[in-house]
Structure 1
Amino acid sequence: METLLLPDFTYRRAVPVATIEYLEAVGNYTTVHLIGQKPMLVAVTLKRFAERLPDFLRIHKGILVNPAHIVAYRTRYVPTPFVRLSQDRRLPISRRQVSQLRPRLASFPLCTN
């Protein structure tokens, strides 16, 4: 299992990549949302995470999603396109990213509700 070392205040914490649900930009910091744990705020930019985690999907300027946690998606006939994650959370897809993401999202089921 691949792990990622995240700087957590005074020490580095090893986090399995599979437990990362998504990452959210907060200025020059990133909030790492983990399955079954509290989110972590780390002093690493989202751009650096995108370089280190090439399989993750950039669905928005400030959101990077682990494709292993995508359950469904919806890009058409809704005001805001979105992906639904395993923890029943919806994250918006930016309009500019929709056309680039459609081929990569095609393997996931469409969200009916």
Structure 2
Amino acid sequence: MIQQQAGSLQMRGYKVPLSLSELIWLEGNSNYSLLHRSNAPNLMTARTLVRWQKMLPEFIRISRGALVNPNHISRLHRISTYQVEITLTNGTVLLVARRRIAEVFKAVKSVNN
């Protein structure tokens, strides 16, 4: 069970709440998700990205396998008409799915305003 509190998530089995500000991006793999964090080791959870997306509506779904914290996007770069990549604050570079490009640009623009 996961409970969302102001700016953090309390996950069952963990004594310390997970700060949303340290959560950089989530990587989906079937029924599991890998949470990439800025100042701590990654966490594997038995939750799909769809469930995480519902719990974290401020995060941006950039592809079938990735959900990104918009506060950790350092660069959004259009390579070509149908290719866009996002560089995160930890240096990770992720490709945006072609059908999500417009949605991602709109979401990033609304966060920066």
Q: TM-score range by the shorter chain?
A: 0.7 to 0.9
The Cα shift of 1:84 comes to: 0.6
Deviation at 1:105, TM superposition (A): 2.6
Contact kept in structure 1, 2:76 and 2:85, CA below 8 Å: yes
Uncovered stretches (5+) of structure 2, i.e. residues with no partner: 1-5
The equivalent of 1:6 in structure 2 is: 11
CA pair 96-39 structure 1, distance change in 2 beyond 3 A: same
TM-score (structure 1 length as normaliser):
0.82
Q: Is the 8 A contact 1:25 1:45 kept in 2?
A: yes
5+ unaligned residues in a row in structure 1: which ranges?
none
Tell me the alpha carbon deviations over residues 48-75 of structure 1, each in whole angstroms, 9 at most, x when there is no partner. Answer: 1100100000000110000010011013
- Alignment map for 1:65-84 (pairs within 5 Å): 65-77=68-80, 80-84=83-87
DSSP-derived class of the 1:106 partner:
helix
SS at match of 2:35: strand
Q: Supply the RMSD in Å over aligned alpha carbons.
A: 2.1
**Secondary structure in 1 matching 2:87:** strand
Question: Aligned letter for 1:99?
Answer: A
Ranges of 4+ aligned residues in structure 1 off by more than 6 Å:
none
CA distance in 2: counterparts of 1:107 and 1:82, whole angstroms: 18
Q: Which secondary structure does the structure 2 equivalent of 1:22 belong to?
A: strand
Number of aligned residue pairs: 106
Q: Normalising by structure 2, what TM-score?
A: 0.82
The amino acid that maps onto 1:66 is N
Q: Which residue of 2 aligns with 1:22?
A: 25
For the residue of structure 1 that corresponds to 2:104, the secondary structure is helix
